Amino acid sequence: MSAAEVASAPSRVRPVAAWARLLASELRLIFGRRRNQVGLATLFGLVVLVGIALKVSSLRHPGSTGGDLMSAVAGNGLFLGFAGLSIEMALFLPLAVSVLAGDAIAGEANQGTLRYLLLAPVSRVRLLVMKATSLAIGALTGAFVVAAGGLLTGIVLFGARPLTTLSGTSIGIADGLWRLALAVLYLAAGLTALAMIGLFISTLTEQPIAATVATAMVGTLLWILDAVPQLDWLHPWLLVDRWPAFIDLLRDPVFTDRLVAGLWVDAAYAAAFFALAWLRFRRADITS
Amino acid sequence: MTLAAEAVADAAADRDGAAITSSGLTKRFGKQLVVDDLALEVPSGAVYGFIGPNGSGKTTTIRMLLGLVRPDAGTCALLGGTMPAAGGEVLPKVGALVEGPAFHPYLSGRANLLRLDAADRRSDPATASARVAAAIDRVGLSAAARKRYRAYSLGMRQRLGIAAALLQPRELLVLDEPTNGLDPQGTREVRHLIGDLAADGTTIFVSSHLLAEVEQLCTHLGVMRTGRLVAQGPMRELRALTAIRFQVRTPDAELALATVAALGVTDAARVPAGVAGSLGEVAPERIVAALVNAGVAVAEFAQVTPTLEDLFVQLTGEGFDVSG
């Protein structure tokens, strides 16, 4: 039986189905990879560890409650979902996103699979959009796993009850979960913007590790710059400056100013670096 | 064939009946001129051998033909579509193996082919599984289809690369060193496979530095040397360029030399077994008759067809070494 005998006549292109098939193939590749599974497990495990540490400390010093998020966890496990995001937002989540982004183009180039994808053929714009989409899904998955890990650990160790917002009012558990979901989406947007920086760097090299390290360094540099008071004029323009603003979702009513501004900054970074990646990739000589 | 890209197609693409054409194709990497003013013409249905030493620009040419690398000057067209603009239209009809196979190490051979199939927006997902199985079967890899690629031997990897090129019915196959890493059995299988595909009407463009391989396979030939195409044409025409030689095994070398010289052979000379020279216009049977009439003891008369390497040396005036 030859390939020609079983092949049907060239079928009509169904763009949505074809797009979904390509993206599904990419996601299988990302989530089927042992390294990425271990990475997600690590993100999850870190929040569990923090939960256990908080539990131990609440047993040693019962009744000592401060006003911050960490102290609130002892009174209500739901808060550990938010606390988990807060803990992993600066280093672990950006690192995870950097690993995926570094792989996106440089990983394929390094293995030589990039040339065969392009010959399949996948147009370059389609390939880049597909990679960007899979990175966004990866970023969302990372944030979701952290929040879910915190939520589960918190409920098991501290129980769930209606939340007291930062404004002092009380909201129901369902409302609290809804706000946690929004916080996940909000941080995922910021991480996706970082992933677009990584995607651009990934088009510059054939070494995925180099792209990953460079992206992680950019992320870290942004946090450092954001912490230098003398640079306060620069802070509003830094990608990470408003990431902690997800905490505004715990106010009643939700304080949206910083969140909206943060989303605009995310969108601007994502668009700019996706455009740079496209400018670089569309005419690049594929010699790998 | 109506292609959107034909609007921008240049003269190179208009030449009818050619599977691959290029004109003035030039590429530099930094200061080095890798491909210099190349004018390829691969007729439809040909098995075109693209030969040249390592480093002579074969792979860069192939990358330009397939749209992976942009030429600095000149144009090229595949199946009538100017590359790289017409890639989306043309590449589904082209199977390619470029500079060795490359796959995801942690996926099985089968999963790797399914991924490539998923990448082609025109391929039918309903037949994907059957097509992948057929392609793997065709290269004799069925037993290892579900093994991880990283566990494959070099020859198995090469076979999987060829299978990827056969995922769809193709009009053109571009095979860069297809028998690299294969054992003699595998080499023979690939040769048969190429023969079968060519018999079905597929145009085959095969690059190689193994002249013996090309000699057995190809109907047409293009010879590269340091980025330039030094000869191109049907194998028969190119072979006619090299002088056919004869060799006589005889103890009477002196007499034989005199006899063939009288027939008009100008370059006859002694060799250990007897006498050898170029046939030129002289018919071999006349030489044998003249030798026998002259009383030369002819133990053996052989007509020596020059090898492709002889042709190559004649065309380039140099040995078949790595180009600088």
User: In whole angstroms, what is the distance from residue B182 CA to residue B175 CA?
Assistant: 14
CB-CB under 8 Å, A10 with B121 = no
pLDDT digits (tens, 9 = 90+) for A133-170: 999 999 999 999 999 999 999 999 998 888 888 888 88
Alpha-helical segments (H) within chain A: 3-6, 15-32, 34-60, 69-75, 79-88, 92-102, 108-111, 113-119, 124-158, 173-202, 208-227, 257-282
Q: What is the pLDDT of residue B9?
A: 39
Separation in Å, CA of A3 to nearest CA in chain B:
5
When mean pLDDT is compared across A48-52, A65-69, A155-159, B135-139, the lowest value belongs to A65-69
Please tell me if residue A35 touches chain B, with a CB cutoff of 8 Å: no
User: Using CB atoms, which residue from B68, B115, B166 is nearest to A118?
Assistant: B68
Length of chain B: 324
For residue A104 the two structure tokens come to 């996106």
When mean pLDDT is compared across A222-231, A272-281, B315-324, the lowest value belongs to B315-324
Per the CB < 8 A criterion, the answer to whether B305 and B215 are in contact is no
ipTM of the complex: 0.85
Partners of B233 in the beta sheet?
B221
Which residues contact residue B215 at a Cβ distance below 8 angstroms, ignoring those fewer than 6 apart?
B307, B308
Please tell me if residue B186 touches chain A, with a CB cutoff of 8 Å: no
pLDDT above 70: percentage of residues in chain A = 94
| Burial classification of residue B59, based on how many CB atoms lie within 10 Å of its CB (0-12 exposed, 13-18 middle, 19 or more buried) | buried
Per the CB < 8 A criterion, the answer to whether B160 and B103 are in contact is yes
Length of chain A: 288
Please tell me if residue B236 touches chain A, with a CB cutoff of 8 Å: no
DSSP B98-157: -SS----TTSBHHHHHHHHHHH-TTS-HHHHHHHHHHHHHHTT-GGGTTSBGGG--HHHH
Q: What is the pLDDT of residue A118?
A: 94
CB-CB under 8 Å, A4 with B125 = no
Whether A256 has a pLDDT exceeding 50, the answer reads: yes
Q: What is the pLDDT of residue B209?
A: 75
Residues of B in contact with A2 (CB under 8 A): 134, 138
Q: Could you tell me the pTM of the whole model?
A: 0.85
Per the CB < 8 A criterion, the answer to whether A115 and B102 are in contact is yes
CB-CB under 8 Å, B131 with A115 = no
pLDDT tens sequence for chain B (324 residues): 444 434 333 433 444 578 999 999 999 998 889 999 999 999 999 999 998 887 888 999 999 999 999 999 999 999 988 988 888 889 999 999 998 899 999 999 999 999 999 998 888 888 999 999 999 998 889 999 999 999 998 888 999 999 999 999 999 999 998 888 788 888 888 888 888 889 988 999 999 877 878 888 889 999 888 888 888 989 888 877 777 788 888 888 888 888 888 888 877 888 888 888 887 778 888 888 888 888 888 888 888 777 777 777 777 666 555 554
DSSP for residue A247: G
DSSP A32-51: H-HHHHHHHHHHHHHHHHHH
Which chain A residue has the Cα nearest residue B161? A116
User: Using CB atoms, which residue from A17, A119, A126 is nearest to B91?
Assistant: A119
Residues 172-211 of A with CB under 8 A from B: none
Which chain A residue has the Cα nearest residue B129? A6
For residue B42 the two structure tokens come to 């691969």
Per the CB < 8 A criterion, the answer to whether B25 and B76 are in contact is yes
Q: What is the pLDDT of residue B2?
A: 40
Per the CB < 8 A criterion, the answer to whether A187 and A143 are in contact is yes
User: Using CB atoms, which residue from A3, A29, A112 is nearest to B131?
Assistant: A3
Which chain B residue has the Cα nearest residue A126? B119
Most B CBs within 10 Å, among A116, A118, A206, to test the B interface: A116
